Amino acid sequence: MTAHYAPFNDRWFYALVAVGLFLNATGLFAPILEPDGALYACIAKTMAQTGDFVNLYAVGSDWLDKPHFPFWVTAVSYLIFGVNTFAYKFPALLFFFGSVFYAYKFAQLTYSKLVAQVTALILLTALHGVISNSDVRAEPYLMGLIMGAVYHFYRVFDTRTSFPQRYKLTKSVHLLLGALLTGCALMTKGVFVLVPIGSGLVLHWLLTGNWRELLKPRWYLAVLLSFLFTLPEMYCLYQQFDLHPEKVVFGETGVSGVRFFFWDSQFGRFFNTGPIKGQGDKFFFVHTLLWAFLPWSLPLYVGIGKALARVVNRQPKSPTQNQPEYISLGSGLATFVLFSLSGFQLPHYMNIVFPFFAIIAAQFLVGLKPLNVRRWTIGQTVIGILVIILIVAILFVVQPAQVGLALGWVAVVTLATFILFRQTDLLSLTGRMVGAMLVVAGILNLFLYPTFMYYQAGMTAARYANQQPGLSNRPTILYEPGTGVGGGSFWTYEFYADAPTRYARSDSSLRRQVQSGPKQVFTTAVFADSLVARGFNIRRIAVFPYYHVSVLTYAFLNHETRAQTVEPYVLAEVK
């Protein structure tokens, strides 16, 4: 596989890695995106401010959906850096970088240094990975935890003795680290994380004649240790929910947090029988990956096809490789099939196996003959140019505040990329894709997202209130009638407001709170009008435009028609 090419020069590789790190880091300062990111940021904010690391609260009520681990990490980050956008996103970015490190180390063990280098650069530049480091949810955490667990478990199984002495850890330490990372992954998403962690190892053992590994006690010890490391999660859920069957959760009483963790949050969504439902499409991730893994989706699909053909024909991947690696294929495809069959699907779900997909795409590209590399370089360059043309077209449609600077960014990065990478070899192929994604990430995070986030009315209103002397120290009531966690633009107000906030979920609740005197209230204009009809006295302080920016439409993107798509929120004094 590696006979055609030597590894990249270290200077070039480290320079490209630095660019990859930078383009992902540009998302650190773009405001937090509604709805999910803002909700999670508020949950961790409450945890940090109250010092209660056991109970999860959202919208002033008990919250049961995601496990605790990301909230613990984020709350600690708040305590170090303060409650701000950077502190919310920074730990997730570190876990993402951890996934790049572990993917590199795993590919270096099983293939070659060149495959490891290409793997790292692919993972740093896959589109939805870059997006998820700006719109932070659980996936960056899972990428690092899952890839790290697989790496350490593989080191337990691997019997080679050629590792440099300074890198050697005992198998017991690798087993412990793998179980610890698995436990943290369980406390991030639930029991389905065992599929990407375990399925690839099992397939690898079966296809390489090592099926007796399934009988060895050490793997059952690993499973036991993994669940032992989840005991903090079990304790918290038991304390908050199982000990309090009187609490109303999902409109019911007697809800078990432990049962939800092991069944409803995972199998309930898979079979669409739990309290949170969706609409499953068996081919959803087939077409989602085409854009989510850009600019590497074509090498990925061809690489998977060739890998499957080798499995069917039982051909080794290289005459110089005595023990083919099937972990990446097994973990990636098993998770792909599982999510495709699920009744609840979202594009970012597939991010957790991007490290394995990066390895598959990298080993395919490195295995090409020089003539085919030249052809793929041309083809990938066309894809990169089309992506850049698309982002420039979006710039002209959106017309952000500094559109001239944005176009300058596109021109400088594109020109520099083609000057530095003029050849048609593998280094130029990867270098051009890194350059293309630097254009995309820079435009998204530095120019487009700040423009879109202005229409998160809650964030804009909170910043307005923070800057007004008469408003900055006044608590704000967030009037959002209904049950559950709600939606709209209330969470970004809660997160970005310096003064305390509290919720009123009904007219009667709001009436009780304003009986002692006028109160500062943030709500939609429609809700404000309904309060006037119910006898409340409302003095509007300011009005803010709102749009659900995580669901973009052309009408909103187009600066000429954007005003027609927004609805007003108001900051008002209510008595």
Tell me the pLDDT tens digit for each residue of 464-514: 999 999 898 999 999 999 888 888 899 999 999 999 999 999 999 999 999
Does residue 179 share a domain with residue 88? yes
With 0-12 / 13-18 / 19 or more C-beta atoms within 10 angstroms meaning exposed / middle / buried, residue 210 is middle
The pLDDT of residue 268 is 62
Q: Is the pLDDT of residue 185 over 60?
A: yes
Q: Is there a single domain that holds both residue 264 and residue 378?
A: no
Residues 69 and 180 reside in one and the same domain: yes
Q: What average pLDDT does the segment 328-353 reach? A: 85
pTM here is 0.93
Name the 3-class secondary structure at 252: strand
**What's the residue count for the chain?**
575
Q: What is the pLDDT of residue 486?
A: 86
Give CA–CA dist 542/486, Å, rounded. Answer: 23
Tell me if 103 sits within 8 A of 200, measured CB to CB: no
Q: Are 359 and 119 in contact (CB under 8 A)?
A: yes
Is the per-residue pLDDT at 564 higher than 50? Answer: yes
Taking Cα atoms as reference points, which of 389, 393, 392 lies closest to residue 381?
A: 389
46 in any annotated domain: no
Residue 164 has pLDDT above 60, yes or no: no
Taking the CB of residue 508, how many other CB atoms lie within 10 A of it? 9
Clarify whether residues 189 and 282 are in a common domain. yes
Evaluate if residue 321 carries a pLDDT over 50. Answer: no
319 pLDDT higher than 50: no
In this predicted structure, the answer to whether residue 454 has a pLDDT above a threshold of 60 is: yes
Structure token digits, residue 168 = 């050697």
- Over 70: is that where the pLDDT of 387 sits? yes
Query: Is residue 266 domain-resident?
Result: yes
For residues 440 and 387, what is the distance between their CA atoms, to the nearest angstrom?
Answer: 8
- Domain with 482 in it: what CATH number? 3.40.190
Q: Dihedral through CA 189, CA 194, CA 197, CA 198, nearest 10? A: 180
Q: Sign (positive/negative) of CA torsion 139, 121, 335, 233?
A: negative
pLDDT at residue 159 in the model: 64
- pLDDT score of 311: 86
**Residue 7 falls inside a structural domain:** no
Q: Does residue 208 sit in the same domain as residue 327?
A: yes
Residue 356 has pLDDT above 50, yes or no: yes
* The pair of three-digit structure tokens given for residue 360, joined into one six-digit string: 């598959």
Q: With a cut of 60, say whether residue 359 has pLDDT above it.
A: yes
* Burial class (CB within 10 angstroms; exposed 0-12, middle 13-18, buried 19+) of 161: exposed
Please, what is the average pLDDT of the chain? 91
Same domain, 351 and 406: no
How much is the average pLDDT of 212-222?
A: 94
What is the average per-residue pLDDT within 158-182? Answer: 77
Q: What confidence score (pLDDT) does residue 483 get?
A: 85
Nearby residues of 565 by Cβ (< 8 Å), 6 or more positions away: 547, 553, 555, 556
Domain boundary among 438, 453, 468: 453
Q: What is the mean pLDDT of residues 172-191?
A: 96
Query: What is the per-residue pLDDT for 344?
Result: 66
User: Could you give the count of Cα atoms lying within 13 Å of 571 in the half-sphere of its Cβ?
Assistant: 26
Number of domains in the chain: 3
CB 340, CB 353: distance < 8 Å = no
Q: Which is nearest to 2 in space by CA: 160, 159, 110? A: 110
Instruction: Write down which residue in 408, 432, 453 finishes a domain.
Output: 453
Confidence band of 573 (pLDDT split at 50, 70, 90): very high
pLDDT at 168: 61
Is 6 part of a structural domain of the chain? no
Token output for 473: 């120290």
Q: Of 453, 481, 506, which marks where a domain is finished?
A: 453
CA distance 5 to 483: 60
Looking at the structure, do residues 185 and 70 belong to the same domain, yes or no? yes
Residues 333 and 439 in one domain: no
Return the pLDDT at 163.
52
Query: Phi/psi of residue 358, each to 5°?
Result: -60, -40
Report the pLDDT value the prediction gives residue 322, as an integer from 0 to 100. Answer: 43
Answer yes or no: is 54 within a domain.
no
110 closest CA partner among 333, 317, 354: 317
Specify whether 560 is located in the same domain as 516: yes
Q: Residue 448 domain-assigned?
A: yes
What pLDDT score was predicted for residue 276? 57
Does the structure show a pLDDT above 70 at 75?
Answer: yes
Q: Could you give the percent of the chain with pLDDT greater than 70?
A: 93
Q: Is the peptide bond before 232 cis (omega within 30 degrees of 0)?
A: no
- CB of 293 within 8 A of CB of 304? no
Q: Is residue 379 located within the same domain as residue 361?
A: no
- Identify whether residues 358 and 383 lie together within a single domain: no
Check residue 472 and give its pLDDT. 87
Assess whether 377 and 336 both reside in one domain. Answer: no
Domain with 360 in it: 64-366
Write the pLDDT tens digit of every residue in 264-304. Answer: 777 766 655 555 555 666 778 888 899 999 999 999 999 99
